[in-house]
Amino acid sequence: MPDDIPPAAPATGSTPSAGAPSGAAASTAPAAPSAPAALELRDISKAFGQVIALRSGTLRLESGSIHALIGENGAGKSTLVKIIAGLYQRDAGEFLLGGESVDFRSTAESKAAGIAVIYQEPTLFPDLSVTENIFMGRQPLKGLRRIDRAAMREQALGLFQRLGVRIHPDRPARGLSIADQQIIEIAKAISLDARVLVMDEPTAALSGVEVDRLFAVARALRDEGRALLFISHRFDEVFALCDTVTVMRDGAYIATQPIAETDTAKLVRQMVGRDVAELFPKQEAVIGDELLRVEGLTSPLFADVDLSVRSGEIVGLAGLVGAGRSEVVRAVFGVDRYDSGTVTVEGRALAPHDPTAAMRAGLALVPEDRRAQGLVLGTTVARNLTMAIRSKLTKAGILTRAAENQAARVWASRLEVKSSALDAEVGTFSGGNQQKVVLAKWLATNPKVLIVDEPTRGIDVGTKSEVHRLLSELAGQGLGILMISSELPEVLGMADRVIVMREGRVTAELSRADANPESVMSAATGAGAAA
Amino acid sequence: MSTTASAAGSTGETRAYRDYGRPLWRRVLLSREAAVIALLILVWIVGYTQVPHFAAPITLTFLLQDMAPVLLIALPMTLIIITGEIDLSVASVMGLSSALIGILTQQGWAFGAAFLVALIVGLVAGLVNGVLVTVVGLPSLAVTIGTLALYRGIAQGLLGSKAITDFPSEWTSLATGNIPGTPLPIVTVLIVVLALVFGLLLHFTPFGRGVYAIGLSADAAAFSGVRITRTKIILFALAGLVSAVAGAYYTLRFGSARGDNATGLELSVVAAVLLGGVSIFGGRGALPGVLAGALLIGAIASALRLAGITSDVINVVTGVLLVLSVVIAGLLGKLRFRRLRIVKS
Amino acid sequence: MSAATTSFARRGVLGRLSALAAARETGIFLALVLVLVVTTAKSPSFLFSADGFRDLLLTPSTLVLIAVGQAIVIITRNVDLSVGSIIGLTAYLTGVLFKYNPGLPIPVVMLLAVLFGAGLGLVNGVLVSVAKVPSLVITLGTLYAYRGINVVWTGSNRINASDMPRDFLAIGTAKLWVLPVITLIAVVVLVIAALVLRSSRSGRELYAIGSDPDAAHLYGLKVGRRVLWAFVASGTLAGLAGVLYTARYGTVDSQAGYGLELQAVGAAVIGGVAIFGGSGSVGGAALGAVLLLTINRALPVLGIPDFWQGAVVGVLIIAAIILDRLLALRQARKLTVMEDSAA
């Protein structure tokens, strides 16, 4: 039973690093600096019209130190980062860089001042070579102000060597993995000799190996005396990497503390402002007949995948990012093609590459990328809620707004979607509220099997436990649930059975009793217990 | 945050959801369509009171006859642009349809049979566009610039510089005659029927919801079971079909089949659609606005002609209106976007 | 390439040759050679006669100019549909200036017309970059507006050769050694544009912007200003094309340059400029323009009525974009293999 699962705790077994080097000396409040900090923000505020995005952003980054910034969605982290990057201009407060007050009007100015920001989704120019991407706008020149391509290439190779990566300097950025794109961004920052590096959730889409590589690079940069800001939702990473942590809530600074003097529970309390119910463990449900069976599913991205889901059962699909889990469920649901294998729902074979057939058979898929795949962002709550059932709402082939609204109202209230009107655009919603819309949209199809891909990624702690409760209740009502999650506590807490994938293949199938961090991680990494 | 209430089964308080966030008058009056329709009415009133002969029934007759091809092709074009694609080959399909009808009737075919062949060829021409865009995965702007040249080239290759002018009068009178007792040309019936069909298709069917979803987010549409390839192929095929009909109408109206018939008309169609409030990025727009946009261009042209101003000014007016309409919409959109962004951050 | 297994060594001479063979421009060039060989074999005077050689170089020159301008704009993920109308206006302005101000020196008139083109391009650029409206819509609007102004201004008026100085018209036929002056102008423009786009920082920024405009903005590139200048460049080159058009043909009416915008876009696409920006070269666009017009002239020689020109152009455009798609797919595969073996 999940009693032995540490609450929202370091999942990979890495313990909070004890010896936080320089951070330990920092005071608990970022006031009274003796030497000028690498970067310091004091009581920064920013409003957009009526909406206050940031009330009092306060942050102090020291050279040679990695600083974590955590907070729920909407806490103001992104706004703060965008002010540092020069994308937004602050309304009030102080912004000091190496003790000097600065005022960035554009990203170019902050870059020139030695700040590099690496966004969650790196923004490279896909058609240009990685070398050009690194040096755009400041390429080495030769006579007549012509670009010296040979010199540029040499410098790029030097950077890659220093970072210990093998990327062809002439290849276009298109097609690079997210991890490699981040490496290019870091190479860019180093070539700029940036003193301050901001990484906005850099690990969200990385696999374990890639995270390790990134952390190694980050530590090397710290040891060179640069200041790093690391924004993450994952506590285990914060504890493994950072020296100091600042918590924000509702657009305001809450606390800064050395990492050694805090723990997960304390951070969560600071983030949420109260104690939250811990991970909602799955209720007991009667496990019934097999609903979904996948046999020998093979494509260029995965091979020989077998899995099954029974009524009342939650099956966790664990593995590192890039193990092929999302690709498998996309193929099962018919969004992607597969080369061979079969998918059967309640004993009947499902036609390949046809999501409509999958829906008719009783499958529903809550996809990985909520904003790009789950929702049609430019349209209303009602249209999104009824998107998957729009054909069922017609009378004589005619679909009216009234019919849509009627159905939408039912599902919006069932999942307590926060919206005053049904014609509000979902793009304006918070991440958690958006995820409720996606879940409602698929529950409206009255599925027999619900596939959820990272159902709680990037949503606030409160909605997260709501989602867990919902999934548990649905299983109790007899649905079969297949859940992909990269959060080990979530998988271990929720799943009746855990299937682990590595490099496109199923490497383990563990019962609830056998599933623990060690067994899952060793199957996911192929090594012994995870480091 | 009402995080403690149970989620499924809704044991917590039930929320009241209003249908609309804004009152009716704001939704209707502040829409892009309303602006175009208002402008159309304004031009009409000015024309009616200030321009001699504008009030005469014959003005309406000519206006509708002139604008019929644009009005017809604008219907499928609206749906295509809402999916985020574009079809620049429509006028060339008209030319091809015209050339085929000319050649076949000259060789002794019955007009009806020639017309049918033209329709089939138009449908195929549209299918070719659709397949190149979806199955092969090429950008529609480039593809249809290519087929613009190709279809026009075939039409001109078939007919050379010849013009075929001999068409049975029972058919030509269909194109030039009026609905008995009205100033409305017979083609108005076709326009109204097709406008209703396309209006229903776009605004009142699951297919239409799919069209908007594709334009706003193709990925999300695919994950919701919208058949993107099929939808787009159907739309391009419909554009080909309607263009062939418009080509036949054009031929009959002027009693002349030529390879270069309706050259450049694709730009008028696109202008009417965009003027009517359809976003070139896809996902937004509605048919009533498009019809008003096309009629607006026609009404201004009529008024200018009747006012004795050279009708070539219509090009300037169309161009300026188009630019202004998108610039203003862009500025309004920017305001709206700013508000959106605020809420997000 | 076994070298890739140890390091990403710079390619040797052989590597460079194979890169040249793989380049998109080479394909177009070979197609052009093929057309020339086949047509000349059928009728030697197509190439080996004074007229034949002159036409080969002279006919495409105007289109080369606007194709270069179009390529610059398309590389930034925009399009300029108004170039045909700009040619019409600048050509007529050239004629009018000569006709009604006979005292003006020829270079001044030419400069004024080119500046006029730049101004019209500036209008496009301002509307696109300041009002942030898609260029397809804006330049469709200015296509109408510029042409409309032209028609209203010109009316049924027509500028004839007799209205213009003989020295100006001589530009249309003058040669430097064996090369027509107009062709030389086009080549000079092409070389400058190619150098700027390939080897200057601002030129590379155009590619970056077209490759991903949002990323360019985030990166801190001056997206609006660069796009604005791209439109000014396109307008300027269209203005120059308008002047040279007048010098070459000697008569200007309100329809000068009609429909050229689609030929310019077509030439760029045939030459390998991706319609959604970020890749391609002005050299390719120029080759595309030459190929397009050479095929047009070759068809009658080959016994195909020139009414089929359009169809051939259409097939060429579609074939070119299909080819580009296949090349992109192949490159993606090759890269994966190279890095796998390097890792």
Cβ atoms within 10 Å, residue C5: 10
Q: What is the pLDDT of residues B219-235, one digit of tens each?
A: 999 999 999 999 999 99
Q: Is the pLDDT of residue B338 over 80?
A: no
Chains linked to C by 3 or more Cβ pairs within 8 Å: A, B
Any idea which of B7-16, B128-137, C235-244 has the lowest mean pLDDT? B7-16
Residue B106 belongs to a domain: yes
Q: What is the pLDDT of residues B65-79, one digit of tens each?
A: 999 999 999 999 999
| Ramachandran angles phi, psi of A417, nearest 5° | -65, 135
Tokens, residue B261: 């018939």
Which member of B205, B219, B222 has the closest CB to residue A397? B205
Does the pTM exceed 0.90?
no
Q: Return the higher-pLDDT residue of A356 and A237.
A: A356
Q: Is the pLDDT of residue A73 over 50?
A: yes
Q: Which of chain C's residues have a Cβ under 8 Å away from the Cβ of A123?
A: 212, 214-215, 218-219
Which member of A106, A124, A139 has the closest CB to residue C220? A106
Strand partners, A421: B18
Which member of B157, B313, B316 has the closest CB to residue C305? B157
- Contact (CB<8Å) B281/C134: yes
Q: Return the higher-pLDDT residue of A72 and A323.
A: A323
Listed in sequence order, the residues at least 6 apart from C330 whose beta carbon sits closer than 8 Å to its beta carbon are: none
CA distance A116 to A138: 15
Chain B closest-CA separation from residue A129 CA (Å):
23
Query: Comparing C-alpha atoms, which of A416, A354, A405 is closest to residue A380?
Result: A405
Q: At A416, which helix (H) or strand (E)?
A: none
Q: How far is CA B308 from CA A293, B53, B304, B311, C155, in A?
A: 76, 11, 6, 8, 14
Tell me how many residue pairs between chain A and chain B have CB atoms under 8 A apart: 154
- Contact (CB<8Å) C313/B319: no
Residue B14 belongs to a domain: no
Contact present, C121 and C227 (Cβ < 8 Å):
no
pLDDT-derived band of residue A19, with 50, 70 and 90 as boundaries?
very low
Q: Check if B163 contacts C (Cβ < 8 Å).
A: no
Q: At C175, which helix (H) or strand (E)?
A: strand C175-176
CA distance A277 to C215: 40
Chain B closest-CA separation from residue C135 CA (Å):
10
Residue B3 belongs to a domain: no
CA distance B120 to B114: 10
Chain A closest-CA separation from residue B141 CA (Å):
20
- Contact (CB<8Å) C335/A166: no
Mean pLDDT in residue range C233-260:
92
Chain A closest-CA separation from residue C7 CA (Å):
9
Q: At A498, which helix (H) or strand (E)?
A: strand A497-502
Tell me how many residue pairs between chain A and chain C have CB atoms under 8 A apart: 91
Q: Which of chain B's residues have a Cβ under 8 Å away from the Cβ of A393?
A: 206
Chain C: residue whose CA lies nearest to B327: C131
Q: Check if A128 contacts C (Cβ < 8 Å).
A: yes
Beta-sheet strand order (sheet of A115-118): A100-101, A92-97, A39-48, A51-61, A252-258, A244-249, A65-70, A227-231, A196-200, A115-118
Chain A: residue whose CA lies nearest to B15: A413
Q: 3-state class of C158 per DSSP?
A: coil
Work out the mean pLDDT of chain B and round it to a whole number.
Answer: 88
Q: Check if C262 contacts B (Cβ < 8 Å).
A: yes
Q: Is the pLDDT of residue B282 over 50?
A: yes
Listed in sequence order, the residues at least 6 apart from A166 whose beta carbon sits closer than 8 Å to its beta carbon are: A160, C339, C342, C343
Q: What is the pLDDT of residues A451-502, one digit of tens each?
A: 999 998 777 777 888 899 999 999 999 999 999 987 777 888 899 999 999 8
ipTM: 0.85
Q: What is the pLDDT of residues C28-74, one digit of tens each?
A: 899 999 999 999 999 998 888 888 888 889 889 999 999 999 999 99
**Number of separate domains in chain B:** 1
Work out the mean pLDDT of chain C and round it to a whole number.
Answer: 88
Q: What is the pLDDT of residues A304-355, one digit of tens each?
A: 999 999 999 999 999 877 788 999 999 999 999 999 999 999 999 999 999 9
Cβ atoms within 10 Å, residue A394: 14
The proportion of chain C whose per-residue pLDDT surpasses 70, expressed as a percent, equals: 90
Q: 3-state class of A44 per DSSP?
A: strand
Q: Give the model's pLDDT for residue C21.
A: 53
Q: Which of chain A's residues have a Cβ under 8 Å away from the Cβ of C332?
A: 174-175
Mean pLDDT in residue range A10-34:
40
Any idea which of A527-531, B118-122, B321-325, C39-43 has the lowest mean pLDDT? A527-531
CA distance C150 to C88: 7
Q: Give the model's pLDDT for residue B15.
A: 63
Q: Is the pLDDT of residue A2 over 50?
A: no
- Contact (CB<8Å) C144/B315: yes
pLDDT-derived band of residue A10, with 50, 70 and 90 as boundaries?
very low
Residue B222 belongs to a domain: yes
Domains of chain A: 288-362+447-531 (3.40.50.300), 379-446 (no CATH)
Pairing of strands A65-70, A244-249: parallel
Q: Give the model's pLDDT for residue A528.
A: 44
Chain B closest-CA separation from residue A36 CA (Å):
30
Query: Comparing C-alpha atoms, which of A478, A519, A529 is closest to residue A318?
Result: A519
Range of the domain at B181: 32-327
Which member of C199, C277, C338 has the closest CB to residue A146? C199
Q: Give the model's pLDDT for residue C38.
A: 94
Q: Return the higher-pLDDT residue of A167 and C74.
A: C74
Q: Is the pLDDT of residue A3 over 70?
A: no
Any idea which of A414-428, B39-53, B102-116, B322-336 has the lowest mean pLDDT? B322-336
| CATH of C58-333 given 1.20.120, 1.10.101, 1.10.3470, 1.20.1270 | 1.10.3470
Tokens, residue C236: 């300027």
Q: Give the model's pLDDT for residue C5.
A: 34
Contact present, A91 and A98 (Cβ < 8 Å):
no
pLDDT-derived band of residue B335, with 50, 70 and 90 as boundaries?
low
Q: What is the pLDDT of residues B115-170, one digit of tens each?
A: 999 999 999 999 999 999 999 999 998 899 899 999 999 999 999 888 999 898 88
pLDDT-derived band of residue A234, with 50, 70 and 90 as boundaries?
confident
pLDDT-derived band of residue C16, with 50, 70 and 90 as boundaries?
low
Contact present, A493 and A468 (Cβ < 8 Å):
yes
Q: What's B317's domain CATH number?
A: 1.10.3470
Cβ atoms within 10 Å, residue C60: 25
DSSP B52-96: TTTTSHHHHHHHHHHHHHHHHHHHHHHHHHHTT---TTHHHHHHH
Query: Comparing C-alpha atoms, which of B210, B268, B191, B232 is closest to residue B80?
Result: B232
Q: Give the model's pLDDT for residue C22.
A: 61
Q: Give the model's pLDDT for residue B311.
A: 65
The proportion of chain A whose per-residue pLDDT surpasses 70, expressed as a percent, equals: 89
Q: Return the higher-pLDDT residue of B80 and A213.
A: B80
| Ramachandran angles phi, psi of A168, nearest 5° | -70, 120
pLDDT-derived band of residue A374, with 50, 70 and 90 as boundaries?
very high
Tokens, residue B129: 């566009």
Q: Is the pLDDT of residue A438 over 80?
A: yes
Chain B: residue whose CA lies nearest to A408: B17
3-state helix, strand, coil in chain B (%, to 5): 70, 0, 25
Q: Return the higher-pLDDT residue of C310 and A198.
A: A198
Query: Letter for the amino acid at B37?
Result: I
Tokens, residue A108: 């170019």
Q: Give the model's pLDDT for residue C63.
A: 96
Cβ atoms within 10 Å, residue A398: 13
| Ramachandran angles phi, psi of A185, nearest 5° | -65, -40
Q: Is the pLDDT of residue B111 over 70?
A: yes
Angle at C96 between CA C91 and CA C102, to 5 degrees: 125
Which member of C199, C212, C338 has the closest CB to residue A125? C212
Q: Is the pLDDT of residue A6 over 50?
A: no
